[in-house]
C-alpha cells in the first residue's frame, strides 16, 4: 500500500470521527421535525376498559364511566372539557369547520398538563323525572357527579334502532396563548344512551 492510500484512509476515518463527535452538538442546534402534535380525549367503561359502556338507562340508577385526556402537543397545555346532552335533532360538533356543538354545557372540567401526561377522572351520572309517553320521551333531570341539572330534554322514538336516543357529548377545549381564549380543539367523544323506563 502506498503512502497516498494511507492518507485517504486516514482522512476518511478522521471525517467519520469528527461527524460522530459533532452529532450531539448539531442536534442541539438544528431543530429536526417532530411527530404529529395533538390532544386526545376518550371515555372508558366502568372497569376502565373500552367496553361495558352504559347504554340502556333506567331512571334513578347511577352509572359510571371514566373520562380521559392526553397531551401530545410538545408543551404544557391548559384544557377544559364540556359535557353536553343531546338528542337526535341536536347538532354534534362539526369536525370539518372545527366548531363545537351549539348546546349549552352542563358540566365542565378545567385542568393543565405537561407534555406526555394523561388526565383521567371518574364521571357518574343518573337521570330522573323521566317520562315515556307514546313515541316521545323526556328526561327532566340529569345528575353529573352529584350536581343536578333541570333539562326537560325530549327525544322521539327511533323505529330503525328501537331507542329513545340521547348522547352525552364530551368536547375538548384548549387555551390559546396568543388569543388569550379557550377554543374548541376539534376533539370530542360521545356516550350513546337509550332511556328505557319512566320514573
Q: What is the pLDDT of residues 31-56, one digit of tens each?
A: 445 678 999 999 999 999 999 999 99
Express each pLDDT in 96-110 by its tens digit: 999 999 999 999 999
Mention the CATH class of domain 38-195: mainly beta
d(C-alpha 160, C-alpha 140), whole Å: 25
Q: Determine the 3-state secondary structure of 24 from DSSP.
A: helix
pTM confidence score: 0.81
Residue 153: in which H helix or E strand, if any?
strand 147-158
- Partnered with residue 93 across adjacent β-strands are none
Amino acid at each position: 500500500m502506498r503512502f497516498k492510500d494511507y492518507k485517504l484512509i486516514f482522512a476518511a476515518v478522521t471525517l467519520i470521527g469528527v461527524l460522530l463527535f459533532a452529532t450531539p452538538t448539531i442536534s442541539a442546534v438544528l431543530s429536526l421535525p417532530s411527530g404529529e402534535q395533538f390532544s386526545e380525549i376518550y371515555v372508558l367503561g366502568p372497569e376502565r376498559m373500552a367496553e361495558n359502556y352504559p347504554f340502556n338507562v333506567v331512571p334513578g340508577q347511577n352509572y359510571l364511566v371514566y373520562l380521559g385526556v392526553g397531551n401530545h402537543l410538545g408543551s404544557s397545555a391548559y384544557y377544559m372539557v364540556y359535557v353536553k346532552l343531546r338528542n337526535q335533532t341536536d347538532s354534534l360538533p362539526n369536525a370539518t369547520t372545527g366548531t363545537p356543538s351549539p348546546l349549552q354545557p352542563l358540566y365542565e372540567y378545567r385542568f393543565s398538563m405537561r407534555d406526555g401526561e394523561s388526565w383521567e377522572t371518574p364521571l357518574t351520572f343518573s337521570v330522573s323525572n323521566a317520562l315515556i309517553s307514546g313515541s316521545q320521551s323526556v328526561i327532566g333531570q340529569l345528575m353529573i357527579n352529584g350536581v343536578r341539572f333541570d333539562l326537560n330534554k325530549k327525544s322521539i322514538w327511533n323505529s330503525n334502532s328501537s331507542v329513545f336516543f340521547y348522547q352525552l357529548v364530551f368536547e375538548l377545549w384548549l387555551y390559546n396563548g396568543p388569543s388569550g381564549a379557550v377554543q374548541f380543539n376539534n376533539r370530542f367523544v360521545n356516550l350513546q344512551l337509550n332511556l328505557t323506563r319512566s320514573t
